[in-house]
Structure 1
C-alpha cells in the first residue's frame, strides 16, 4: 500500500507554501495526488515539480534597465 502525505506535510518537506502545493495539485502537476473530501493527499515519494513561474527582474528605480539599455 502506498503512503500518502497531506498538502501541509508536502509543503514542509519541499519548503514551499501549502497553497503552492494545492495549486500544483489542481494543475495536475503531482502524479498520484487526489482530493479526498476537501483535502489533497499526495504520494509520500512524489517529486517536487519544476517551478515554471517566471522570475521578475528586480530594479532600483529602473536604474538597472538604463545601464543595460545605455539610455
Structure 2
C-alpha cells in the first residue's frame, strides 16, 4: 500500500492541511497513522463526509 503526505492529500481533496490533521487525530481517515511527527495517509483513502455544524445552531441531545 502506498502512503502520501498531508500536503498531497490536501491538494487532492481541496481542503486545508490543518483540517486533514484534525480528521487524522479524530480517526476519521481509515488507515492513516502517525510516524514520528508525520501523518501517513493511504493513497486510495476516501474523503470523509464533513459533519461539522453548518446551521450555527447546536442541537441538544
User: If each structure's helix is expressed as a fraction of its own residues, which one has the higher value?
Assistant: 1
Q: Shift in Å at residue 54 of structure 1?
A: 1.1
Q: TM-score, normalised by structure 1?
A: 0.75
* Residues in 2 aligned to 1:14 and 1:47: alpha-carbon distance in whole angstroms: 9
Larger Rg: 1
Gaps of 5+ in 2: 57-61
Cα shift readout 1:5-64 (whole Å, capped 9, x = no counterpart): 11111111000000100000000000000001100010000000000001146xxxxxxx
Instruction: Give 2:5's aligned residue.
Output: 6
Instruction: Give 2:59's aligned residue.
Output: none
Higher relative contact order (CA 8 A, sep 6+): 2
**Does 2:24 align with 1:17?**
no
* Residues in 2 aligned to 1:43 and 1:10: alpha-carbon distance in whole angstroms: 9
SS of the aligned residue for 1:40 comes to strand
